[in-house]
Structure 1
Amino acid sequence: MPEFPNPHLIEFPKLGEPGIGYISVIEKSQLMPFSVQRIFWTYYTPESIVRGRHAHHRTEQILVAAAGRITVTTELADGTIELFRLEDPHVGLYVPPKAWHTMQYSHAAVQLVFASVPYQEVDYIRNHDDFKLIWGSQA
C-alpha cells in the first residue's frame, strides 16, 4: 500500500489586487499531488450540520472554501487529530486516504473538492469504529 502525506494545507497562486479582485489558477496538475478525476462542490449547508464523517480507502482530496469558512477536523488511525480552518479561496486542504474527516460550514459557505478517483461507494468507510479497525492495525 503506498504511503501518503498527512493532511496539510496547500497554497495556490493568488493573482490580482484588491481593486480588481483575484484569480487562482492550477495548470497541468501544478501543485496537485494527484491527477484530478472528479470535482464536486457543496453549498447551502446549514451551520449546525456536520458533514463528511468518513474516510476513504483510496481517494485523495483537496478541499477548498471557495466562499465562506469551513472547519475541517481530520483524524488519523494513530489518533492524531488536527483542526483546519479554511476561509481563503486560494488555500486548499489535502486529505489523504486513511484520514477520517468532518466538515462544518459557515452560512453560505461553498466547498470545492478535487478528488483523485471517480465516486465509488465501496471506497468509503462510513463507520468510525470500522475506520479504527481497518486502519488502526496498519498504523
Structure 2
Amino acid sequence: MLNNIQLIEIPKIADPRGNLAVIEKDILPYAVKRVYYLYDVPSDAYRGGHAHKDQQEFLIALSGSFEVVLDDGSSKERVMLNKPNKGLLIGTGIWRELENFSSGAVCLVLASDVYMESDYIREYAEFLLTKGT
C-alpha cells in the first residue's frame, strides 16, 4: 500500500434493527471541518483528478461502490470502497481519481479543512513537479 493512505475500519454497533457506524474520538487524525458527498455519478464518469497540499480526506462508500485510484508520483494503487463501515484516509500529496461508480453509489468525504482553491493541485504535470519526478 502507498504511504500516506490508510483503510480504516469504522466502529459498528450491530443490531437486528440495522447497524450503526460511529466516527468519533480518535478515528481520524484531524478534526472534521468540511463534509460533502458525491452522488448520481454516471458509471462512465470520474471525480477527483487532483491532490491536496495540506488537506486530508476520509472517503466512505455510504451506498454502492466505487474505486479510488491513488498515485504518489512513483506508484499507483486502486482501492475499492464498497462497505459503509470502512473508509479510506488520504493524506496530503496524493493524487486521487474516483471512478467505476455503481448505480446508487454515495461517496461521503470528511475533510480536515474548509474549501480553499489554493490547496488544490489540479494539473497532473504540476503534481509530478512537486514530487520531483
Q: TM-score, normalised to structure 2's length?
A: 0.93
Whether the 8 Å CA contact 2:71–2:96 is kept in 1: the answer is yes
Match of 1:125 among 108, 111, 121: 121
1:128, distance to aligned residue in structure 2 (A): 0.4
- Mapped to 2, the partners of 1:85 and 1:93 lie a distance apart of 10
How many residues align? The count is 130
Q: For 2:14, what is the secondary structure of its paired residue?
A: strand
1:102 aligns with 2:97: yes
Indicate the residue corresponding to 1:91 in structure 2. 86
Q: For 1:133, what is the secondary structure of its paired residue?
A: helix
- Mapped to 2, the partners of 1:44 and 1:112 lie a distance apart of 13
> How much identity, in percent, do the aligned residues show?
36
Indicate the residue corresponding to 2:17 in structure 1. 20
1:63 aligns with 2:59: yes
Runs in 1 of length 4+ with deviation above 3 angstroms? Answer: none
Whether the 8 Å CA contact 2:4–2:92 is kept in 1: the answer is no
Indicate the residue corresponding to 1:40 in structure 2. 36
Indicate the residue corresponding to 2:8 in structure 1. 10
- Mapped to 2, the partners of 1:56 and 1:80 lie a distance apart of 17
2:116 maps to amino acid? Q
Q: For 1:101, what is the secondary structure of its paired residue?
A: strand
- Mapped to 2, the partners of 1:8 and 1:59 lie a distance apart of 15
1:82, distance to aligned residue in structure 2 (A): 1.1
Q: TM-score, normalised to structure 1's length?
A: 0.89
1:80, distance to aligned residue in structure 2 (A): 1.8
Whether the 8 Å CA contact 2:9–2:86 is kept in 1: the answer is yes
- Mapped to 2, the partners of 1:76 and 1:136 lie a distance apart of 11
Indicate the residue corresponding to 2:130 in structure 1. 134
- Mapped to 2, the partners of 1:108 and 1:26 lie a distance apart of 23
